[in-house]
């Protein structure tokens, strides 16, 4: 396993293919610092005696101790631990821990490449290639991001119907030594601070769309890739330092006729498995949300509770009702993820067939519960901001700048007029509101809320998964029976 220092040292040696705000930048550019600080916590936690058990696992390939973010779930316990590790680490940042895309894509590809290799049309030994990549991923303790979201062009058209065929990443050439891919994946979290990028399709695919059924891995600084990066960093503090500086990055990952050697290809042309890889990454990722969303709610509950305490309204009936809403959403999201773990099996839902065995025996969370939890908590994020706004009042929207709070000419006056609670030191109140502003009203807050709503799939995607997999007919039978109606015609 690596340390944070080893992780950062490797980033410093990577090629320069990041573009931001008109500049070409390297991986240790100041803008990357917040995101690197977040990712580094995943290395610290694997060494920390307090979290070692939760944040490490035993590799089923080598028997070595590895970072849990690089593990393939071998049983129900692993699914529980992934959810709990995610909540534990997100609590350390108050938001996303950003390494889950790698573990979620790895678990999806582990199952998909195994099944796809059985296909008589398989272009290469997908699962053998996968195992070779996975062993390196685990032993070198690499960070992977997952590039699933295509630009998608005209929303109501399928990949093969688009005016521009490059709206979904596709294979433009097959060679004896590999494939050439073209297209762009967008909003790819932490691609700029990852060692590797795992690429999977975005949607179910049909005959004629073989070129879009492609899964592979590339180094994130690979020739043929350009990353255009957007940063969501919290404001740095000069006077009221928090002791941490966290941030996030998301990239447009552009494959400009990029050559991928066969040994990095895990699927190429099998449309059924292309669709399943899209579905499985989304499923594992929605399960991760049952760890990170409750953790974010832990932070939001703390913000709401302290805002109420500072405002002296914590016993007001409407505040108790609002706090209970936050608690219910977070803990129901957690409970849904817990159930998804407890009912996990090496099985996947196939339309018309129900749950069938899939993959080499690695565990997959139950899809109804993973989708229910993600949808419930994802849809709630703007309401959470509304609750914070309600309890805080207008103060965070016009809170003085840090330099005015420190300026000897204005400091004492501002401290006098900001103070709402004589039982709490004014310096603590100021630190609290600055943090509140970072979370809800800063430049990065909007992007983070959009990410919490759409990341892992917009609510409509979960609703489609839920209603297409849930046995609604059996519920209608239940009513038919109780109402004395005639039975369903089979
Ligand atoms: C901060 C952030 C981080 C992210 N990180 C990652 C990441 O690491 N990796 C990754 O792969 N993705 C990532 N995503 C992408 C995320 O998964 C997508 O935003 C999400 O799946 C929605 O896709 P979209 O943004 O293209 O929205 P759209 O699909 O354009 O949705 C816009 C609206 O159009 C509707 N719509 C779209 N298609 C149809 C249709 N066919 N019929 C009817 N209505 C339709 C939607 O329901 C929605 O109402 C991230 C997103 C954000 C914001």
Kindly give the residue spans of alpha helices, DSSP state H, lying in 163-230: none
pLDDT at 61 over 90: yes
Q: What whole-number distance in Å separates Cα of residue 164 and Cα of residue 187?
A: 20
**pLDDT at 334 exceeding the cut of 90:** yes
Mean pLDDT (the chain) is 97
338-362 per-position pLDDT tens digit: 999 999 999 999 878 889 999 999 9
Strands 225-233 and 347-350, bridge-based pairing: unpaired
- Low-confidence winner among 45-54, 108-117, 290-299, 458-467 (lowest mean pLDDT): 458-467
Q: Half-sphere exposure (CA, 13 Å, Cβ side) for 430?
A: 22
Separation of CA 41 and ligand 1 centre (Å): 28
pLDDT tens string 445-490: 999 999 999 999 999 999 999 999 999 999 999 999 999 999 998 7
DSSP string, 56-98: EEE-TTT--EEEGGGPPP-SHHHHHHHHHHHHHHHHHHTS--S
DSSP string, 266-318: EEES-HHHHHHHHHHHHHHHHHHHHHHHHHHHHHHHHHHHHHHHHHT-TTSHH
CA-closest residue to ligand 1 atom 1 = 451
Atom of ligand 1 nearest to the CA of 191: 8
Domains along the sequence of the chain with CATH? 4-273 (2.40.110.10), 276-477 (1.20.140.10)
Instruction: Look at residues 34, 269, 92 and name the one whose alpha carbon lies nearest to residue 170.
Output: 269
Please tell me the residue having the least CA distance from ligand 1 atom 37. Answer: 155
How does DSSP assign 378-398, residue by residue?
HHTHHHHHHHHHHHH-SGGGG
Partners of 171 in the beta sheet? 181
| CA of residue 402 to ligand 1 center, whole Å | 36
- Residues with Cβ within 6 A of ligand 1? 101, 145-149, 152, 155-156, 187-189, 250, 447, 450-451, 454-455, 457-458, 460
- Per-residue model confidence (pLDDT) at position 96: 95
Tokens encoding 190: 């932490």
Rounded to the nearest whole angstrom, what is the distance from the C-alpha of residue 298 to the centroid of ligand 1?
26
Checking if the pLDDT of 324 tops 90, the result is yes
Considering all CA atoms of the chain, what is the largest pairwise distance in Å, rounded to the nearest integer?
Answer: 83
How open is the CA angle 476-478-481, to the nearest 5 degrees? Answer: 110
How many Å apart are CA 319 and CA 305, to the nearest integer?
A: 9
Instruction: Tell me the pTM.
Output: 0.96
Minimum-distance ligand 1 atom for the alpha carbon of 151: 26
Residue 30 banded pLDDT, cuts 50, 70, 90: very high
pLDDT above 90 for 312: yes
Confidence of residue 243 (pLDDT cuts 50, 70, 90): confident
Paired sense of beta strands 196-199 and 144-147, if any? parallel
Tell me how far CA of residue 312 lies from CA of 417, 420, 440, in angstroms: 15, 8, 21
From the CA of 150, how far away is ligand 1's center (Å)? Answer: 9
Cite the DSSP H helix spans in 140-270. none
Q: What is the pLDDT of residue 443?
A: 86
- Supply 201's token pair: 């399709």
**What DSSP character marks residue 31?**
G
- Mutation to probe ligand 1, out of 458, 461, 462 (largest number of atoms < 8 A from CB): 458
The pLDDT > 90 percentage for the chain reads 96
How far is the centre of ligand 1, averaged over its atoms, from the C-alpha of 139 (Å)? 33
Nearest CA to ligand 1 atom 11: 148
Triad 263, 268, 271: Cα angle to 5°:
155
Residue 236 scores a pLDDT above 90? no
Beta-ladder partners of 349: 355
pLDDT the model gives residue 357:
97
From ligand 1's centre to the CA of 321, what distance in Å?
A: 32
Q: How confident is the model at residue 28 (pLDDT cuts 50, 70, 90)?
A: very high
99, 203, 255, 454, best to mutate for ligand 1 pocket (most atoms within 8 Å of CB): 454
How far is Cα 127 from Cα 157, in angstroms, rounded to an integer? 32
Whether the CB-CB separation of 341 and 76 falls below 8 Å is answered with: yes
Average pLDDT over residues 351-376: 95
Res 218 pLDDT > 90: yes
Residue of 103, 155, 193 to mutate, ligand 1, most atoms within 8 A of C-beta: 155
CA distance 460 to 454: 10
Which residue, judged by its Cα, is nearest atom 35 of ligand 1? 155
State the pLDDT at residue 352: 82
Instruction: For residue range 393-415, list pLDDT tens digits in order.
Output: 999 999 999 999 999 999 999 99
What does the pLDDT look like over 270-299, one tens digit per residue? 999 999 999 999 999 999 999 999 999 999
Ligand 1 nearest-atom number relative to CA 453: 53
Short-list 109, 156, 164, CA closest to 137:
109
Nearest ligand 1 atom to the CA of 148 is 11
Ligand 1 centroid from CA 407, angstroms: 44
The whole-angstrom separation of Cα 415 and Cα 406 is: 10
Closest residue CA from atom 48 of ligand 1 = 458
């Amino acid at each position: 396993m690596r340390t944070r220092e080893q992780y950062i040292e490797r980033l410093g040696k990577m090629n320069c293919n990041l573009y931001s705000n008109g500049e070409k930048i390297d991986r240790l550019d100041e803008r990357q610092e917040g995101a690197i600080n977040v990712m580094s916590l995943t290395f610290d936690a694997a060494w920390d005696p307090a979290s070692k058990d939760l944040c490490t696992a035993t590799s089923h390939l080598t028997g070595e101790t590895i970072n849990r973010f690089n593990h393939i779930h071998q049983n129900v316990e692993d699914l529980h631990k992934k959810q709990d590790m995610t909540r534990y680490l997100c609590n350390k940042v108050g938001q996303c821990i950003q390494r889950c895309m790698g573990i979620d894509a790895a678990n999806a590809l582990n199952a998909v490449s195994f099944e796809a290799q059985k296909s008589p049309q398989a272009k290469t030994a997908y699962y053998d290639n996968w195992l070779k990549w996975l062993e390196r991923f685990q032993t070198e303790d690499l960070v992977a991001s997952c590039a699933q979201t295509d630009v998608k062009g005209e929303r109501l058209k399928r990949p093969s119907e688009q005016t521009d065929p490059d709206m979904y990443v596709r294979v433009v050439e097959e060679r004896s030594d590999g494939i050439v891919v073209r297209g762009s994946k967008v909003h790819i979290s932490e691609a700029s601070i990852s060692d590797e990028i795992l690429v999977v399709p975005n949607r179910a695919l049909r005959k004629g769309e073989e070129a879009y059924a492609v899964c592979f891995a590339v180094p994130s600084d690979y020739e043929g890739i350009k990353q255009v990066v957007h940063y969501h960093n919290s404001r740095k503090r000069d006077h009221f330092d928090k002791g941490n500086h966290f941030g996030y990055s998301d990239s447009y990952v552009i494959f400009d006729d990029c050559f991928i050697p066969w040994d990095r290809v895990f699927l190429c042309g099998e449309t059924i498995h292309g669709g399943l890889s899209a579905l499985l990454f989304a499923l594992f990722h929605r399960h991760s949300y049952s760890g990170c969303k409750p953790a974010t709610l832990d932070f939001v509950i703390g913000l709401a509770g302290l805002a109420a305490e500072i405002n002296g309204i914590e016993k007001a009936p409407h505040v108790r009702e609002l706090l209970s809403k936050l608690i219910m959403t977070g803990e129901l999201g957690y409970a849904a993820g817990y159930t998804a773990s407890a009912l996990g099996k090496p099985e996947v839902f196939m339309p018309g067939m129900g749950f069938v065995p899939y993959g080499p025996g690695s565990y997959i969370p139950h899809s109804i519960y993973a989708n229910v939890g993600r949808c419930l908590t994802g849809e709630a994020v703007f309401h959470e901001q509304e609750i914070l706004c309600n309890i805080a009042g207008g103060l965070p929207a016009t809170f003085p700048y840090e330099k005015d709070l420190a300026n000897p000419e204005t400091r004492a006056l501002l401290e006098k007029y900001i103070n709402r609670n004589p039982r709490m030191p004014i310096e603590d109140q100021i630190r609290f509101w600055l943090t509140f502003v970072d979370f809800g009203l800063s430049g990065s807050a909007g992007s983070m809320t959009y990410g919490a709503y759409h990341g892992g799939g917009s609510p409509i995607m979960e609703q489609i998964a839920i209603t297409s997999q849930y046995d609604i007919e059996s519920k209608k039978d239940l009513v038919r029976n109780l109402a004395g109606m005639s039975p369903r015609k089979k």
